[in-house]
Amino acid sequence: MSIEQKLERIREEVSVCRRCGLGKGRTKSVPGEGPAQVEIMFIGEAPGFYEDQQGKPFVGQAGQFLDELLKAAGLSREQVFITNVVKCRPPSNRDPLPEELSACQEYLDEQIRLLNPKVIVTLGRISMGKFIERGRIGIIHGRAHNVEGKKVVTMYHPAAALHQPALRQTLIEDFARLKKFIGAGAPSAQTDRAVEGGPEQNPIQKQTNEIGVSQIDKNFKKEDSSVRVSSDEPIREDSKPELPPEQLSLF
Ligand code: SF4
Ligand code: URA
């Protein structure tokens, strides 16, 4: 079976999936889309209102900004694969629950395995959390990390800039640097699922080479993820931030 066919099989499975409660409330599942041969894969959080209606990832306002960001990176949608950590929309766009993340993870893991991209770009805190525990996006945004031999670049979520306009330029600049991570050499160390704080919290983290891939030391002790220091960014544009943007905690 070709990679295309295997990706299509995931799409079909997801469309009838009831592994978690999100399956009940969806209009359409959003398995993700893009060609089978890609160098970069983008992973967001979960479908929002428009994605649920259309069955496609990032088609709302955040998606429009993502298109701009891709342009800043010299990329187009046709060249990349875009998906989410969960494939069905959470009610009222709440964060996916741990049990939903784990119920859905097999689909994403299989997509990653099939696509085998040179670079995985995480969009936002929840997607970052799949690869890096306790990462502080305010510190590690735009950086590449070596996670289990994969190059993972952690970005702010495009929707964050819709609520905090100051992040717009940061995102554009981070995306403009994205291409240098492709073909900049395979990461050199295998690591466990990473735990990373900023350099000031995690002295074990080393900046190792010219492209700034941070090697995440597998011996660094994992800490309780409940002390994870990151913000509650409102991810999907039709979600209501609980606080006005100026009161949202720092990203
Ligand atoms: Fe299945 Fe994932 Fe949808 Fe849950 S979110 S029903 S695990 S496809
Ligand atoms: N936000 C996400 O994280 N994913 C989408 O597909 C749309 C908005």
Give the per-residue pLDDT at 78.
97
For residue 30, give the ligand 2 atom closest to its CA.
Answer: 6
Centroid of ligand 2 to alpha carbon of 206 (angstroms): 31
Centroid of ligand 1 to alpha carbon of 139 (angstroms): 31
Q: Which residues contact ligand 2 via a Cβ below 6 A?
A: 44-48, 51, 57-58, 62, 84, 159, 235-236
- The ligand with the least distance to the CA atom of 89 is 1
Q: How many CB atoms lie within 10 A of CB 242?
A: 9
Centroid of ligand 2 to alpha carbon of 47 (angstroms): 5
Domain positions in the chain are 3-222
Q: Under a CB-based contact definition with an 8 Å cutoff, are residues 14 and 33 in contact?
A: no
Please tell me the class of the 3-222 domain: alpha beta
Residues of the chain with pLDDT under 70: 184-251
Give the per-residue pLDDT at 214.
62
Percentage of the chain exceeding pLDDT 90: 71
Give the per-residue pLDDT at 94.
97
SS3 for the chain is: CCHHHHHHHHHHHHHCCCCCCHHHHCCCCCCCECCCCCCEEEEECCCCHHHHHHCCCCCCHHHHHHHHHHHHCCCCHHHCEEEECCCCCCHHHCCCCHHHHHHHHHHHHHHHHHHCCCEEEEECHHHHHHHEECCCHHHHCCEEEEECCEEEEEECCHHHHHHCCHHHHHHHHHHHCHHHHCCCCCCCCCCCCEECCCCCCCCCCEECCCCCEEECCCCCCCCCHHHCCCCCCCCCCCCCCCCCHHHCCCC
Q: Indicate the average pLDDT of the chain.
A: 81
Give the per-residue pLDDT at 224.
30
For residue 88, what are the CA distances in angstroms to 5, 77, 239, 244? 21, 21, 15, 27
Give the per-residue pLDDT at 182.
86
